[in-house]
Amino acid sequence: MNDRQTMTPMNNNKRSKPKTAMMLAAGLGKRMRPITSTIPKPLIEIRGKALIDYGLDALARNGVETVVVNVHYLADLMKAHLRKRKDMEIVISDETDGLLDSGGGIVKALPMLGDDPFYVINSDTFWIDGYRDNLDLLAELWRPERMDLSLLIAEMRQATGYDGRGDFVMDVEGRLTRVEERDMSPYIYAGAAIVKPELFAGMEPERFSLNRIFDSAIERERLFGVRLDGIWITVGTPPAIPLAEEAFLTSAAA
């Protein structure tokens, strides 16, 4: 692991899988207190494995070679944990001087992510694959000539630990728009995406949400979704931990 700038080459074939990823892991995890009083949220364990390692394992299975991880809260613990990974290069994007949120965090890390499309993964959500590996499915259906971003999308019936009203409306081609304020949708952003780096060109590393990028792509009709195959798990509060554990037991019994 190192803190240096790195660039990862990628095959020019538009069907190639990304070789680089951004892992968003700098949040404070306030809703997980008191657990997060002593450990950062990405290191909370489900079935003996840290949350962040579910995402890192999925990236490793899909041939990702370099993962940029942003850190802020209890950063030394995060760095110590990440040093244990030997199956990929981990590059730290240090935000200990100030949180930048998901969008600003990517802007700061952009020089380390290279010039090709990359995965973006949330460190506090993960999934149990069904018949397909979901990152493989996301890459297979990636069409850069018509997409600026492609999001992994779960349906509410596949979700554990989620209590919202949905995030997007999806048409028959997979194009996404926002769900209206007073409506509900079964479609939830599952915390994994493929993103073009040029979407952040010229931006400053200031605090802003990735939702700003999503909305801009919606205006251009270039935000798409791929339906998750399996079970999606989000661990946002302490009561979600036993639900996540139960999801594994249910999946194993199916």
Q: What is the distance between the alpha carbons of residues 63 and 242, in angstroms, rounded to a whole number?
A: 31
Residue 12's pLDDT is 39
Q: What is the pLDDT of residues 169-211, one digit of tens each?
A: 999 999 999 988 777 888 999 999 999 999 998 899 999 999 9
* 164's tokens: 């919202």
C-beta of residue 58 within 8 angstroms of C-beta of residue 128: no
Residue 161's pLDDT is 67
Place of tokens 């290279």: 114
To the question of pTM greater than 0.85 for the whole model, the response is: yes
Domains and CATH numbers, the chain: 20-253 (3.90.550.10)
Radius of gyration of the chain (CA): 17
Of the candidates 22, 25, 20, the one whose C-alpha atom is nearest the C-alpha of residue 9 is: 20
Residue 251's pLDDT is 66
Which residues, given as ranges, of the chain have pLDDT below 70? 1-15, 161, 251-254
